[in-house]
Chains A and B, each alone.
Chain A
Amino acid sequence: MQNKLSFHQSSVSLEIIGLPDYSNNENEDQISIISQWKLTIIDKPLIEGKIEHLGPIMNAFYIYSNLLIKNEIPLYESNLIDIKADNLYLHNIVLKSSKPNVKPLIFKIGNSLLSDTINCFDQLNESPKVRIKKTDVTNNTTKRFRFRLINKVKFFNFVMPPFVAICSLILFSSSFIYFYNPIEDKEKNELINQE
């Protein structure tokens, strides 16, 4: 008996069908081995496929939504899915079948359906009941920010060792001031000269 989990967001629902991994002592309601998934968007054709298609499709939507927001050219192309912006509020999706002689599925979605789809994928990513290779969205620190961080770390690595070295030299040599008395040294030299 297969488990079935559904994630809903307004006009979009995502259904995951699969089995728990009993060899890992998982609960009966867990899904680790996904056999099928279905993405239903109201008034649009049903999208379904195998586990190997789910990851790339989720990634495509995430990458495309990031491009859309970050003022970059909103275009994503792969051998499985193409997403392209028709205008500010309409997105063209082309799903290509891996089977030969099957025509690609083409449809358009608006911003509202795009955000519903992204939120369905988010729910799946966050669900403790489904184990899939999670799409790394949250730790996806932006390039510019990462660059800034790296620069900061590099700068510290570069400056800190000589700075510590100079400080320790100053501290070490300043302690000798208490041992060395130049007047006493002068008197000693005079005594030697007199002898």
Chain B
Amino acid sequence: MPNKVTIWKLRNNNPLRKSYVNNNIKKNEFDALVKITVEMSRYLYPYIREILKSKEDLEENCVIWNDFSKRFIELIKERFNIDCMRVKKLLNQAENDEIIIKSLLTLSFCISNQGYQKLRNFLFDF
């Protein structure tokens, strides 16, 4: 990744985004994105853990989960194509809990030194 603009451009390859551009991601770009994700999840692990923990005991500690869920939905509405069925599913609060928890769990399992390889394998199986 030569600069931040390249990463910003690569984000637009996501077909769920409003500003979707259909460019094929090269293998080295895919690897770089996976590495960035692993590094970010390692850095954010304490937060990811707290969000997961908050969901476990919602009666006592619902603030973190509710904040995260609210922000997640706000971001999706702001940046994703809300006419798309898959995005509608993400916005549906009854269904999106499972997606959010599984995504957070995937990230939290990949914070080790070999996390890059693990996340890569998870993505190939997705």
Interface size class of A (residues with CB under 8 A): 20 to 34
Interface: A30 (CB within 8 A):
no
Residues of B within 8 A of A142 (CB): 121, 124-125
| Segment at the interface with A among B9-17, B19-27, B48-56, B76-84 | B48-56
Contact present for A115 and B55 (CB under 8 Å): no
With most chain A CB atoms within 10 A of its CB, the pick from B46, B105, B115 is B105
Which of A68, A111, A137 interacts with B52 by CB under 8 Å? A111
Q: How far is the CA of A5 from the CA of B27 in the complex (A)?
A: 39
Instruction: Label chain A's interface by main secondary structure.
Output: helix
Segment of A44-52, A118-126, A154-162 in the binding face: A118-126
CB contact under 8 A between A89 and B118, given known A10-B49, A115-B105: no
A138 to B50, CA, bound (A): 26
Q: Given A116-B49, A142-B125, does the pair A89, B56 have CB atoms closer than 8 Å?
A: yes
The DSSP consensus for interface residues of chain B is: helix
Residues of B within 8 A of A143 (CB): 125
Nearest CB on B from A41, distance (A):
13
Which among A10, A115, A122 has the highest number of chain B CB atoms within 10 Å?
A115
User: With A111-B101, A116-B49 as given contacts, are A145 and B125 in contact (CB-CB < 8 Å)?
Assistant: yes
Binds A, one of B29-37, B66-74, B86-94, B106-114: B106-114
Which of B's residues lie within 8 Å of A, judged by CB?
Answer: 46, 48-50, 52-53, 55-56, 97-98, 101-102, 104-106, 108-109, 111-115, 117-118, 121-122, 124-125
A sample of 8 more A-B contacts (CB under 8 A), given A10-B46, A122-B113, is: A69-B102, A69-B105, A110-B52, A122-B114, A123-B112, A126-B114, A138-B114, A145-B121
